[in-house]
Amino acid sequence: MHSKFLLFVLLLVMPLAYAEQAPITKSDPVLEKRVMDLSTHLRCLVCQNQTIADSNAELAVDLKNQVREKLRQGQSEQEILDYMVKRYGEFVLFSPLVKSTTWLLWFGPLLLLVVGLGVLSVILRQRRKMMQQAPVLSANEHARAASLLSAKEGEGHS
Amino acid sequence: MNRFLLPLGAFIVLVIFLWIGLTLNPREVPSPLINKVAPTFRLPQLHDSAKTIGPEDLRGKVWLLNVWSSWCVTCRQEHPLLVELGRQNLVPIYGLNYKDNRDDGLALLKSSGDPYVLSAYDREGNVGIDWGVYGVPETFVIDKSGLIRHKFIGALTPELIQNKLIPLVKELNGA
């Protein structure tokens, strides 16, 4: 029983041994972290909805190597981003720049929200106005309505 | 009546946007290098590793840089067109042998014909990155002053060559 339990634990723990062998641990962990951080800002042009950090496509690997090389040469993050933009265009940046052609992209959802709130408030205001304008029933009419309703109910039961 | 007009209008706008979206090709990322000076390099030649080649050697003429590789299936499809274009002697075609095995590249040229005046050998693909290459084949048109004037992404087709490439080369040569 005891040994079975141990075996079970061992099996559970086994994948962890593999997990530690992730290939990112190259010689310099600090540099590697910078490479990965910067890579999350660059789009893989072969697999366009992934960053080059997420992708194992050959081009992504090459670009990561390029990033690593340039960081090693002492270039700053911004210089490397500029280099990539010069080569591949702004599309290579994973989050688009905020500028006049991308305003709709960035603020479109907010615009939709504002328009929606506007429409909602207009509709609510109209409804309130309609409620206020609705004819108020007199006490007599209330009594009549109540009797009609209860008669209906009575009918239903019979 | 009016209450249906607004949603219908919104729907039509949406359809128009989606329709336009269908006609776009997200794989074609316009190159920011158009009308910029071609990135320089100095690479060994494919046929003779002792000799080198770079864009500076070609100043003063209109030329094509075709990025290719022996492992690239689309390049093989494109290859006969390039051979044909090379035969017409309209424009010198230079090759950038991209991330290839030298022997494989040479073998392909031997078996299928060599449309290139020369091929540069880019083993690591660094020159490719410098030129903004993200897939092969790609074909650049470079003018006499060394500016990149056009980039064809993907394989050339007979239509592209007839309607776009040749007129462009003629225009650049005339200017």
Look at A89 and B131 and tell me if their CB atoms are within 8 Å: no
Mean pLDDT over the full length of chain A: 84
Cβ neighbours, 10 Å, residue B148: 21
Chain B environment of A48 (Cβ under 8 Å) = 26-27
**Pair B69, B98: CB distance under 8 Å:** yes
Chain B residue with minimum CA distance to A87: B132
Domains identified in chain A and CATH numbers:
26-97 (1.10.8.640), 101-157 (no CATH)
Q: Is some CB atom of chain A closer than 8 A to the CB atom of B145?
A: no
Is ipTM beyond 0.90?
no
From chain B, pick out residues whose CB is under 8 angstroms from the CB of A45.
29, 134-135
Q: Which pair of tokens denotes residue B140?
A: 């650049």
Q: Do B99 and A58 touch (CB under 8 A)?
A: yes
pTM of the shown model: 0.74
Closest approach of A34 to chain B, Cα-based (Å): 20
DSSP chain B: -HHHHHHHHHHHHHHHHHHHHHH--TT-PPPTTTTSBPPP--EEBSS-TTSEE-GGGGTTS-EEEEEE-TT-HHHHHHHHHHHHHHHTTSS-EEEEEES--HHHHHHHHHHH----SEEEEESSSHHHHHTT--SS-EEEEE-TTSBEEEEEES---HHHIIIIIHHHHHHHHH-
Residues A11-26: pLDDT tens digits?
666 655 554 444 555 5
pLDDT digits (tens, 9 = 90+) for B133-168: 988 999 999 999 999 999 999 999 999 999 999 999
Give pLDDT tens digits along chain B (175 positions). 677 898 899 999 999 999 998 988 887 888 899 999 999 999 999 999 999 999 999 999 999 999 999 999 999 999 999 999 999 999 999 999 999 999 999 999 999 999 999 999 999 999 999 999 988 999 999 999 999 999 999 999 999 999 999 999 999 998 5
